[in-house]
A and B are shown apart, each in its own frame.
Chain A
Amino acid sequence: MEKTTSEQIRIWGEKITESDREAFDSLFRFMYPRLVHFAFRYTKSKAVASDIVQDAFVTLWEKRRELQPERSVKAYMYQIVRNRSLNHIRDHSNETVGLELLNNSKFESDEQVSVQDPPNPLLERLKAWIEELPSRQQEAFKLSRFEGLDHDEIAEVMSISSNTVNNHIVAALDALRSRYDLFQQEINNV
């Protein structure tokens, strides 16, 4: 299933460089909701996220002839949206809280109250721990886990090497594992 999707995206990407409007529309329909969800993580505003994604597609069409065939159009779109979302946060830092700023927040996981009663207290803790990861590790981890991008795609989106992506995710998991071990000790001491 995953393969078929990647393959499909690659085909659309090729056709778009040949100005195939239908392929562009198909890619849009597939990626728009996902990219809005993705941008929303940074901007915290759906209206802003939607605008950023919409503009990114306009850019894609305007620059279609410059797209390199070996480059993943999916990673390309994530990269554009990510960069513009980060720019937006930077330009409106009083109003939005993005990944960069979460770094500095004191997050007391004990105070976290979830809307539906979680059957899994570990999950609630895990969410908090993820938010407390250093920003690059957090970003690489979320791109992998929440957006389903592979390491090469993440490397393109974050403009780093694939090895660095791997190292960020390893470091993130290591940090999560430490928190988990402490958590286990706490419950066992009760």
Chain B
Amino acid sequence: MTDNTGHNEQYRPVQNAFFEQFPTGEQERIKHLWKLSSQAAPTPPEVTDEETERRLSEVHAQIAGSNRSSSKWRWIAAAASIILVFGLGYLLVPQSVTVPYGEMTSVELPDGSSVQLNSGSEVQYNRLFSYTNRTIELDGEAFFSVESGEHPFIVHASRAMVQVTGTEFNVRSWNEDPEKETEVSVSEGNVQFYPEDQPEKSVTIRPGQLSRFEVNLDRPTPPEAVSVDRVASWRDHNLLFNKKTLAAIFRELERRFDTNIRLEDQSVAKETLTTYYYKEPLILESILDDICRIKGLHYAKTADGYRVY
């Protein structure tokens, strides 16, 4: 008989001697409880073979290289292991689109859906996209306009998944952010948002709502209201910071303006700010002026960017 960890449950020879440590009269009861307790283990979460293989590939990636390239390596390694099974190597070579800092771009996917990418973002999908799957990996921020299709459209971003059919929504998930938070907001349609491999913990996000997930949470946060035109204000080249930490704000500014901003006073890094910039053209120094004034900080130009102190 095996318990749910797959171990063979038989008395090991040492155990009879073990029970002799108890008073004779109690040994039967002890043995009974011991035997029964193998059924007392709580049901563990399911771990599929597929998940095991995927995690193994990630381990290889972590061993092999840097953080920035790991999502690429993970995809290639995962694709490589699928090749062994299907032998369709060519079809699984990943397509990847990366947007440099300071720019934005739009990509049309094979199924007619489109993805608008914010500065510094990267998406990856394979050539079978739209034929056997509609799964796309995201590191960064993108606004998706999804056409109806045969397969569920799934965005995989840093430990969370967003699943839709026919809708418009924004996903924000930067691998380089230590918080490793994924934030999803919806303009049109409904979206299922769940932690990686746990679709049973999904949260439904409706138009005008936003939800966040990071690994320490059991499931994504209950959806909160967000103004629909602000859902992806970056697309209009506006900048919206909704309760974002200074550290996150400066990182976003670094990406948008392709520069370096060093925050020297780490004690304020976790303070948050809500602010919205929309008057074109956006000038970095005006924005820094504003933020510094609100937070009582100063900034100065440096050889490769700015420092805030």
B59 and A58 contacting across the interface, CB-CB below 8 Å: yes
Mostly helix, strand, loop or mixed at chain A's interface? helix
Of the listed stretches B33-41, B114-122, B129-137, chain A binds: B33-41
Q: Decide yes or no whether B24 CB sits under 8 A from chain A.
A: no
Q: Taking the complex as formed, is A36 at the interface, i.e. its CB lies under 8 A from any CB of chain B?
A: yes
Please determine whether A146 and B217 come into contact, CB atoms closer than 8 angstroms.
Answer: no
Check if B12 sits within 8 Å of A126, measured CB to CB.
Answer: no
Q: What distance in Å separates the Cβ of B65 from its nearest Cβ neighbour in chain A?
A: 12
Scan A111-137; emit 1 where CB is below 8 A from any B CB, else 0.
000000000101100110010000000
Q: Known contacts A36-B45, A123-B36; decide if A2 and B12 are in contact (CB<8 Å).
A: yes
Among listed A9-17, A79-87, A153-161, A168-176, interface-contacting one: A168-176
For the complex, is B216 an interface residue (Cβ under 8 Å from A)? yes
Enumerate chain A residues within 8 angstroms of B4, measured Cβ to Cβ. Answer: 37
Given A32-B55, A47-B215, A41 and B42 contact (CB-CB distance below 8 Å): yes
Interface of B is mostly: loop
A122 and B37 alpha carbons, distance in the complex (Å): 10
Chain A interface category by residue count: 35 or more
**Interface: A40 (CB within 8 A):** yes
Please pick, from B5, B22, B62, the residue contacting A174 in the complex, using a CB distance under 8 A. B22
For B215, what are the chain A residues with a Cβ–Cβ distance below 8 Å?
45, 47-48, 51
| In the bound complex, CA of A32 to CA of B47 (Å) | 9
Would you give the 0/1 interface string for B41-61, flagging 1 where the beta carbon is closer than 8 Å to chain A?
A: 110110100011101101100
A47-B198 in contact (CB<8A):
yes
* Residue in chain B with minimal CB distance to A142: B41
Taking Cβ atoms with an 8 Å cutoff, the residues of B that contact A are 3-10, 12, 14, 18, 21-22, 26, 29-30, 33-34, 36-42, 44-45, 47, 51-53, 55-56, 58-59, 62-63, 159, 195-198, 215-218
List of 7 A-B pairs having minimum Cβ-Cβ separation, nearest first: A37-B44, A148-B7, A33-B47, A146-B41, A46-B45, A127-B40, A1-B8
Question: Can you list 14 A-B contacts (CB < 8 A)?
Answer: A28-B56, A29-B53, A36-B47, A47-B159, A50-B197, A51-B159, A54-B62, A58-B63, A61-B63, A127-B40, A146-B3, A148-B5, A166-B18, A166-B21
**Chain A interface residues (CB < 8 Å from chain B):** 1-2, 25, 28-29, 32-34, 36-37, 40-41, 44-51, 53-55, 57-58, 61-62, 92, 95, 120, 122-123, 126-127, 130, 141-142, 145-148, 150, 166, 170, 173-174, 176-177, 180-181
